[in-house]
Structure 1
Amino acid sequence: MAGMNEMGLETGATTSDGRPRQGFWGLWNISFGFFGIQIGFALQNANMSRIFQSLGENLDNLALLWIAAPLTGLLVQPVIGHYSDRTWCRLGRRRPYFFAGALFAALALFGMPNAPGLMAAALMLWILDASLNVSMEPFRAFVGDMLAKEQHMAGYAIQTAFIGTGAVIGSSTPWLLDQMGVSNVAPAGMIPDTVRISFYIGGAALFLAVLWTVLTTREYSPDQMARFAQASEAARQAEAPSVPAGGPLWIVAGLAIIAAVWGWALEKELYLLGGLLAAYGIARIVARGLHAQGRTDNLLSHVVGNFATMPAMMKKLALVQFFTWSALFIMWIYTTPVVAQYVFGSADPTSAAYNEGGNWVGILFATYNGVAAFAAPFLLQPLARRIGQAQTHALALTLGAFGFLSFLVLRDAQALLLSEVAIGIAWASTLAMPYAMLASSVPQTKLGIYMGLFNAFVVIPQLLVATVMGTIMRHFFPTEPIWTMAFAGAVMLLAALATLRCRD
């Protein structure tokens, strides 16, 4: 029954490093909180463009308003990862962080549909995404803490199943409320009741799901974690690596982008990209100076040093993540206007047809997440055992690319469900395969900070999409959002090709 063991269905045994082998309910409890977190993410992803447009924002400015979400993740996750690696209290190591994040995320979900205007809604999005990131990052490391390498794939597959299930509920709730007779339209400047009530339900579900994991799991103590790892390896991992030179080059690159935006009157949101590159260059210079003085045990030295000297497998996976999440972020921003305009025939956010299209996008998103919930443990995990994790991931991403490209030709709402099946398989693999490969290839005592730094390659492409895609739309396709799906399909194919470099 080796397959059942890998799914964690047997108890009472130990793994290769001495950790207890988690059974099914152990795997369930470890990841159940992600069920609630993903309800929050699904409500955000499926409804924020709708909320912004309902409050009066134009289509070509949507990407700019979404900048808050990835920028928050870029800043929050490495910091939380660093400190969660070093925390130990009555609640444990990771649990204090995802509990606090869940509390504030729930409050943000309650407040979002009551935002009095566009800027207030953007502020609530920032608070919501910051809180979700505080919860999510420790959960990724939590799986790596609680499971040995041979159970990583099973752990992340179960986590993906919860992510998919939570996203189905979060994405479909407005549509279900509409079927129950709740009002799905609202005057200009107001949020429909279907969306408002969905956010209330999501806030409560998020908090209770995370609370379940907090109450039903017990983390390993620092002494136990040290026994699981080799002593020499643990001592080596405790040190911050040296920071390579090159900071000035990053500053020059950032300033060059800023100068180009200024001199050529480019879109001003591109200032953000230049500013981030320059800021990273400054951080490298400061961290390198601290290291030269022997001051290595600080947040900046650990974050910058580990980022600059990341393991080889992490570098290969970073390129895969860059292309993958570029495609996904395009999908989250533009699927609602694409479906509303090309399938339901309206680009007017106040029309009944547009809001019907918005609800159908919830169903489409629920479909790809539902497929992911099934595909990760029952399709991709067995396939990965046969052909390898990298090959499985490349195949799944290729299917996802064709799912995006099918939006260019399909004009039937029901037919788009087939597109979402392909995207769902790619989404399942994205949530499981890279994290399983990463968790098995980095030092365990630094798993939190590496998971947080890995998020940079989820966030950076989202920032690029948010700053560049709006510019492309304004200049080339101001009234034709359908072409965003062509961009998504192309970059997803690049992700599939990049995955082939990750074969062990």
Structure 2
Amino acid sequence: MSMGFLGIQMAFALQNGNASRILANFGADVHQLSWFWLVAPITGLIVQPLIGHLGDHTWSEFWGRRKPYFLIGAVLCAVGLVFLPNSASVTQFMGANVLLLAVVFLALMDASVNVAMEPFRALVGDMLPKHQGTLGFSVQTILIGIGAVVGSEMPNWMAKMGVATTASAGHVPPNVIYSFYSGAAVLLLTILYTIATTKEYSPKHFEEFSESATEKKSSFLDIFRDFRQMPPLMKKLGAVQFFSWFALFTMWVFTTSALATHHFGLSPDDTSSAQFNEAGNLTGHLFGLYNLFAIPFAFLLTPIAQHIGKKNTHALALFCGGLGLILLYFITDRGMLWLPMLLLGFAWASILAMPYA
């Protein structure tokens, strides 16, 4: 049921670790990267609640409730994965600006990941009884971690297998391109596996067995009504999440450029040399590490929270994450950069879990 999460998270990791690098390869200045990356949160802000609402009100005897969104999202995301690193080649046929085209494919990828991911989160709640819910989400956590590690490390692994890590100016190195191809293949295969092996309950079954069947049906406008009526505690949590994701996007957007200039001593204008692409591979490796460290931390959160409380656990995790970001600047030995990733892994595990606990 959760196998598709592996492919989705692999695609998400490839995007987070390589989008800035690809845009830089296409000629984007470092100060422009944040503007190009705005497509990710904006599309998520629009797509996530919309898909959640549509999924709750969709039913087909053949396709089910959530599976149409899995398939549509997977196909569109695979298209984005294939064409984003090849935007320079596509522009030769279309005559469009390469950066504009790359941003379009980035937006397509991000929106499609959200189209596929949101129904997957709801599927566990739809299909599993309450006493199996924790196990279901634990399996999701493990598969998310595996997909994130594989997606982050893939360009580095390709380089170690002898795939070229440099390309002419204005183009993306082959190790990144083939990593995106691999991500597209894994995404489609895992989504198709979930579709083929999962049978969703019909609305009739929900009426008979679901405890929530008698609840009042919601409308799309309830999204905005609920936002206005949000409890004070939720508003405080929203502020915490705001600053947490501010830090995360800063890391995802600027790590490659920061490593290239700070640890490799490159000029900000150098976006195609072997050392710049080595910095890009190192970024993927570091992102793979924090996702790997997050897996055991995800299972340690509960016992830690039992001793010091959920609020203090999350505060401690965020403090460790902030310390990790600071250490990225002060640690000059590249061999010690695993330490900030260890701290960020603790924060990442908590950000994904504690606000919903």
Q: TM-score, normalised by structure 2?
A: 0.90
Partner residue in 1 for 2:6: 35
Q: Which amino acid aligns with 1:400?
A: G
1:228-264 CA-to-partner distances (Å, cap 9, x unmatched) read 555xx65453155xxxxxxxxxxxxxxxxxxxxxxxx
User: Alignment partner for residue 172 of structure 2, among 187, 191, 204?
Assistant: 191
Shift of 1:80: 0.6
Q: How does 1:402-481 map to 2 (within 5 A)?
A: 402-435=323-356, 437=357
Q: How does 1:353-364 map to 2 (within 5 A)?
A: 353-364=275-286
Q: 1:433 to 1:224 in 2, by over 3 A?
A: farther
Q: Tell me whether 412-421 or 148-157 shows the greater mean CA deviation.
A: 148-157
Q: How does 1:186-335 map to 2 (within 5 A)?
A: 186-230=167-211, 234-240=213-219, 299=220, 301-310=221-230, 314-335=234-255
Measure, in 2, the Cα distance between the counterparts of 1:195 and 1:202. Answer: 11
8 Å Cα contact 1:160-1:372 kept in structure 2: no
User: Alignment partner for residue 297 of structure 2, among 360, 372, 375?
Assistant: 375
Measure, in 2, the Cα distance between the counterparts of 1:155 and 1:399. Answer: 28
Q: How does 1:137-216 map to 2 (within 5 A)?
A: 137-149=118-130, 151-216=132-197
8 Å Cα contact 1:345-1:353 kept in structure 2: no
Measure, in 2, the Cα distance between the counterparts of 1:95 and 1:118. Answer: 33
Q: Which amino acid aligns with 2:294?
A: A
- RMSD value over aligned CA atoms? 2.1
Measure, in 2, the Cα distance between the counterparts of 1:422 and 1:102. Answer: 32
Shift of 1:34: 1.0
Measure, in 1, the Cα distance between the counterparts of 2:312 and 2:136. Answer: 20
Shift of 1:374: 2.9
8 Å Cα contact 2:264-2:275 kept in structure 1: yes
Q: 1:95 to 1:381 in 2, by over 3 A?
A: farther
Shift of 1:339: 1.1
8 Å Cα contact 1:99-1:211 kept in structure 2: yes
Measure, in 2, the Cα distance between the counterparts of 1:344 and 1:98. Answer: 41
- Secondary structure at the aligned position of 2:199 is classed as coil
Shift of 1:226: 3.6
Q: Which runs of 5+ in 2 are unaligned?
A: 89-97
8 Å Cα contact 1:160-1:432 kept in structure 2: no
Q: Is 1:68 the counterpart of 2:36 in the alignment?
A: no
1:80-122 CA-to-partner distances (Å, cap 9, x unmatched) read 1111111122332222212210111112111111102111111
8 Å Cα contact 1:34-1:162 kept in structure 2: yes
8 Å Cα contact 1:153-1:432 kept in structure 2: no
User: Alignment partner for residue 93 of structure 1, among 30, 50, 65?
Assistant: 65
Measure, in 1, the Cα distance between the counterparts of 2:206 and 2:139. Answer: 23
8 Å Cα contact 2:153-2:288 kept in structure 1: yes
Shift of 1:216: 2.3
Partner residue in 2 for 1:48: 19
- Residue identity over aligned pairs, in percent, reads 48
Q: 1:138 to 1:161 in 2, by over 3 A?
A: same
8 Å Cα contact 2:149-2:292 kept in structure 1: yes
Measure, in 1, the Cα distance between the counterparts of 2:349 and 2:303. Answer: 13
Q: Which runs of 5+ in 1 are unaligned?
A: 1-29, 241-298, 438-504
Q: TM-score, normalised by structure 1?
A: 0.65
Partner residue in 1 for 2:94: none
Measure, in 1, the Cα distance between the counterparts of 2:17 and 2:7. Answer: 16
8 Å Cα contact 1:105-1:132 kept in structure 2: yes
- Secondary structure at the aligned position of 2:170 is classed as coil
Shift of 1:123: 0.8
Q: 1:217 to 1:305 in 2, by over 3 A?
A: same
Measure, in 1, the Cα distance between the counterparts of 2:137 and 2:240. Answer: 18
Measure, in 2, the Cα distance between the counterparts of 1:193 and 1:45. Answer: 18
Q: 1:409 to 1:119 in 2, by over 3 A?
A: same
Measure, in 2, the Cα distance between the counterparts of 1:157 and 1:337. Answer: 35
